[in-house]
Amino acid sequence: MFPKGVSNHDALLKTMNQYYTYILKCSDGSYYTGITNNIDRRLQEHEEGLNETCYTYKRRPVKLVSCEMFIDVNQAIAREKQIKKWSRAKKEALINSEWNDLIKLSKKKFE
């Protein structure tokens, strides 16, 4: 039995591992895509600049502009790799939930 006010879905999520693929917008306007199992901690690490070799270190402050949750780490990794290959326009379509634009930008152009 679950505590009052807690749904089966909520309780199930708390027992599962959660992984996040996220996009940050950096102070220079560039985007950084990453993966983590703790989005709050990872954002704080980016903001504090704990790693001088990290892409975002000299591009702070950063802003979280997109975040997707997965229960399978392999799916989260695959999504991160997929997004990293995308053009800026395609990333912005995802960030802005412009699904029609995302579909158009996904189509290969053959000449």
Q: How far is CA 57 from CA 21, 47, 95, 96, in A?
A: 19, 8, 22, 25
The residue ranges of every structural domain in the chain are 15-106
- Over 18-46, what HEC string results? CEEEEEEECCCCCEEEEEECCHHHHHHHH
With the CA atoms of 83, 88, 89 and 90 taken in that order, what torsion angle do they form, in degrees rounded to the nearest 10?
Answer: 0
- Summarised one tens digit per residue, pLDDT across range 17-65 is 999 999 999 999 999 999 999 999 999 999 999 889 999 999 999 999 9
CATH of 15-106, one of 3.40.50.2300, 3.40.1440.10, 3.40.640.10, 3.40.50.150: 3.40.1440.10
Instruction: Quickly state the pLDDT bin for 6 (edges 50, 70, 90).
Output: low
Q: pTM for the whole thing?
A: 0.82
